[in-house]
Structure 1
Amino acid sequence: MKYLPLLLIVIAFACNSGTPQNNGITVETYFAHTDSGVQTAGIKMIPIATPVGTFKVWTKTIGNNPRIKVLLLHGGPAMTHEYLECFESFFPKEGFEMIEYDQLGSFYSDQPTDSSLWTTERFVEEVEQVRIALGLDKDNFYLLGNSWGGILGYEYALKYQQHLKGLIICNMMASAPDYAKYNLVLQSQMDKKIVDSINQMQSAGDVANPRYTALLEGYYNEHLCRIIPNPDPVQRAFKHLNPVIYTMMQGPSEFGISGRLANWDIKDRLKEIAIPVLNVGAKFDTMDPEHMKWESTQVQQGRYLYCPNGSHLAMWDDQAHFYPGVIQFIKDVDAGTFTADKHE
């Protein structure tokens, strides 16, 4: 009998080894080669047809799960997938296939200079071409977007939700004008002299001035990412930002919005989204967490995840709340047990 505990441990290990929780996907299956020929660590350059020519975008697929495939949409516009690399510490061990992706114009993808390309509508068609190229469909396709990626995720769902199984909108309000108003609330909590200086330098176009960057640092440390210094993937994403596209669409910084997206508003269209949706908000976000909670009540099947210690990049500074909530949403949708939040 003295060997019984050891035997039970061996049996338990044999039963559980190589199987991510609740997915029935073994390590061998998850990491099985899906391409023949030279192995490229899951990286594919996908051709994207546009009105001004065909260009290539960078994607990297980690794992293989025919039931759960999560495409990550980075923010910016024109940041990079790099700041979303933190998902690699959480999704693979759950057996979730995940796809990192640099949108057209971003560092690892082609960077054409025709300004007509930088519209939400054109980016939506890009995501659709990526979906087709990677073989994602309504039975396995989850779209997760952060910030501008949330705008893109919403717009994709409004046109192509028939191809989606679930949608995760992280740290993005459904209205740019409302976001601008909330930014004024955050500004009211800051030193007025600093706010005035930032706004004056933005108005004058003096955003390359080191003093401008220094003045923004406190705001970013409070509301963008609260881990100081920022984690290496976040620093790399900022280093590789395409400032031309970012400024054209968002404005010169996260201190408000003034580019092509300034009037974007889909509040009245949220009711059209019928697939399961998870809205993620955070206490210290640049976006209003109460607005993001409200969004979850406007879609047909919404759930809200609040990150009490998080900011705009809650996937970094509130991992204890962010990942369990996101992972549970995906598992619930996959299992057919998803229930929306109840609202009075």
Structure 2
Amino acid sequence: MSAYPTVEGQVPFEAPNSGRPCSTWYKVVGDLEQSTNYPLIALHGGPGAGHEYLASLMDLVEQYSIPILFYDQIGCGRSTHLRDKMGDADFWTFDLFIAELDNLIDHLHLRSRGFCILGQSWGGMLAGMYAARRPEGLRKLVIAGSPASFPLFVEGGKRLRAALPSDIQKALEEGDRTGNFDTPEYERASAIFYAQHVCRVSPLPGPVQQAFANLKDDHTAYNTMQGPSEIVVDGSLKDWDGSEQAKNINVSTLLLNGRYDEVSELCVEPWFRSIPRIKWVVFENSSHMAHWEERERYMQLVGRFLTSY
């Protein structure tokens, strides 16, 4: 249980073409009124992984007095689920998630106060495209473990797979060929890939396990936008490249990834080339979740970045 002021709520959200009333669940940890630091909005990955696996960011509340706004994006967790939208690429778009984020920011009256955003994985892609629109109130941006280009993400993934033992490669290739991702062989091979390139903490922290549980419970957005797994990318994002839009980002940006990250330097580097005011840090002992794998250093880097003006 948090020792800091915590407020939870639901915000009505008119999701375009959803055909029903929707809502976004959120939680604010820390004191929005009393803190002298800008609040941080945490954008989770997936899409559909939910907010829980970002729980380690609460260190920033304790160590740097940064209030944090967590929320479950539409389609997962405690927000409205839309399972009937499976495969509807016209519904699951950046515009949908940006509209939801704007709706939440306006509900909590954060524009005039100012705010920062940290996006992890898919959340960093969303954060980058949101920042590229130069929204009123945005002060700083953190992009963590996020590809700037999905074709480059796929290419980087192929290189990582090529370094795996031959039997693991063969099991993954067989799943790709047949489309059967539920065999024991494929699940074992995927688990080995994930243990090396998604989270190297063993056993997996409970909040990270919850992210996988969220995706298993409702993979509508994930399957539509990405595909059936981190390894097989055939969703609507497969050709996405945000590097051109990223040139419009006009706030100071901290770019993070891990040395063993499934989001390899190949697909992270375009952020660095495109965003005018940016610093890039690679965590040498981490994969995709440095906020757990090198938690202390991660919080120090992010906390100092967000509180230095």
Q: Same fold (TM over 0.5)?
A: yes
Please say if 1:60 is aligned against 2:22.
no
Residue 317 to residue 148, structure 1, CA distance change in 2 (3 Å): same
Is the CA contact (8 Å cut-off) linking 1:250 and 1:259 kept in structure 2?
Answer: yes
Which residue of 2 is the match for residue 86 of structure 1? 56
Equivalent in 131, 154, 158 of residue 184 of structure 1 = 158
CA distance in 1, matches of 2:267, 2:214: 30
Please say if 1:44 is aligned against 2:9.
yes
Residue 76 to residue 49, structure 1, CA distance change in 2 (3 Å): same
Please say if 1:99 is aligned against 2:65.
no
Which residue of 2 is the match for residue 250 of structure 1? 226
Q: Deviations over 1:278-330 (max 9, x none)?
A: 11111010012365355234212111122111110110101132111111110
**Residue segments in structure 2 that go unaligned for 5+ positions in a row:** none
Task: Say which structure, 1 or 2, has more relative contact order (CA 8 Å, 6+ apart).
Answer: 2
Is the CA contact (8 Å cut-off) linking 1:139 and 1:164 kept in structure 2?
Answer: no
Q: Deviations over 1:186-242 (max 9, x none)?
A: 011012332232132134231233432211111111110001110111111211212
Which residue of 1 is the match for residue 281 of structure 2? 305
Q: Which has the larger radius of gyration?
A: 1
How many residue pairs are counted as aligned between the two chains? Answer: 296
Residue 248 to residue 199, structure 1, CA distance change in 2 (3 Å): farther
Which residue of 2 is the match for residue 7 of structure 1? none
Which residue of 2 is the match for residue 166 of structure 1? 140
Structure 1 SS opposite 2:142? strand
Q: Deviations over 1:64-121 (max 9, x none)?
A: 2354111111101111111011112333331111011100011221102333431122
CA distance in 2, matches of 1:90, 1:124: 25
**Residue segments in structure 1 that go unaligned for 5+ positions in a row:** 1-27, 32-40, 337-344
Residue 318 to residue 305, structure 1, CA distance change in 2 (3 Å): same
Please say if 1:237 is aligned against 2:211.
yes
Matched letter for residue 80 of structure 1? G
- 1:130-169 correspondence runs (5 A): 130-137=104-111, 139-169=113-143
Structure 1 SS opposite 2:12? strand
Q: Deviations over 1:32-73 (max 9, x none)?
A: xxxxxxxxx411111111222330111000112354111111
Worse-superposed segment, 94-103 or 152-161: 152-161
Shift of 1:160: 4.0
Matched letter for residue 170 of structure 2? D
Equivalent in 227, 241, 244 of residue 201 of structure 2 = 227
Structure 2 SS opposite 1:61? strand
Worse-superposed segment, 265-274 or 197-206: 197-206
Is the CA contact (8 Å cut-off) linking 2:55 and 2:207 kept in structure 1?
Answer: yes
Matched letter for residue 28 of structure 2? T
TM-score of the superposed pair, with normalisation by structure 2: 0.90
Please say if 1:330 is aligned against 2:294.
no
Is the CA contact (8 Å cut-off) linking 1:81 and 1:101 kept in structure 2?
Answer: yes
Q: Deviations over 1:266-286 (max 9, x none)?
A: 112322111111111110100
Worse-superposed segment, 228-237 or 49-58: 49-58
CA distance in 1, matches of 2:72, 2:295: 23
Is the CA contact (8 Å cut-off) linking 2:153 and 2:267 kept in structure 1?
Answer: no
Is the CA contact (8 Å cut-off) linking 1:277 and 1:296 kept in structure 2?
Answer: no
TM-score of the superposed pair, with normalisation by structure 1: 0.81
CA distance in 2, matches of 1:182, 1:130: 34
Matched letter for residue 47 of structure 1? P
Q: Deviations over 1:146-170 (max 9, x none)?
A: 0100111111112243331111100
- Work out the percentage of aligned pairs sharing the same amino acid: 27
Which residue of 2 is the match for residue 279 of structure 1? 255
Is the CA contact (8 Å cut-off) linking 2:197 and 2:260 kept in structure 1?
Answer: yes
